[in-house]
Amino acid sequence: MNEPAVSIRQAHWPEEAAALRSVRTPVFVEEQRVPPDLEWDDHEATAIHLLAEAPDGEPIGAARLLSSGQIGRMAVLKSRRKAGVGTALLGAALEIARQKGLPTPFLNAQVSAIAFYRRMGFSETGEEFMEAGIAHRRMELQQNG
């Protein structure tokens, strides 16, 4: 069985803000009810943004990586979930973090996504907390050797 083709590339803020918003707005603002003023922050201009695209160029996923090693704003359009898009996005973010020599990658995982991040090599390192009305836990990538 072939996985759907998806390409992951870096997107540049603000030139490609519309493409990034076309993923993050439906997922976070509409579906999860995150207030827009919490979704868009001062990190947008300095973050490394990743964009997942379908073969026709349609934006279907997004993520960002901060210089601190924090991975965040991971989003995949509802119609494209369970097809490997999130795995591809996270893999690309981890590779960029490694190439740039960033600190140990970490993220604030929504509690509902902890199992996904565990499969990708992350472990919980903190207590549950609320962010934008959603339960999260900090997770760190476990370094091998």
**Domain map of the chain by residue range?**
7-104
Q: What are φ and ψ of residue 19, in 5° steps?
A: -65, -45
pTM for this entry:
0.93
**Residue closest to 23 by CA, chosen among 69, 66, 79:** 79
Q: Specify the pLDDT at position 5.
A: 79
Rounded CA separation 49/29 (Å): 18
Q: What is the CATH number of domain 7-104?
A: 3.40.630.30
Q: Specify the pLDDT at position 4.
A: 54
pLDDT digit of tens for each residue in the chain (145 aa)?
A: 445 579 999 999 999 999 999 999 999 999 999 999 999 999 999 999 999 999 999 999 999 999 999 999 999 999 999 999 999 999 999 999 999 999 999 999 999 999 999 999 999 998 999 999 999 999 999 976 4
Q: Do 93 and 71 meet the contact criterion of CB atoms below 8 Å apart? A: yes
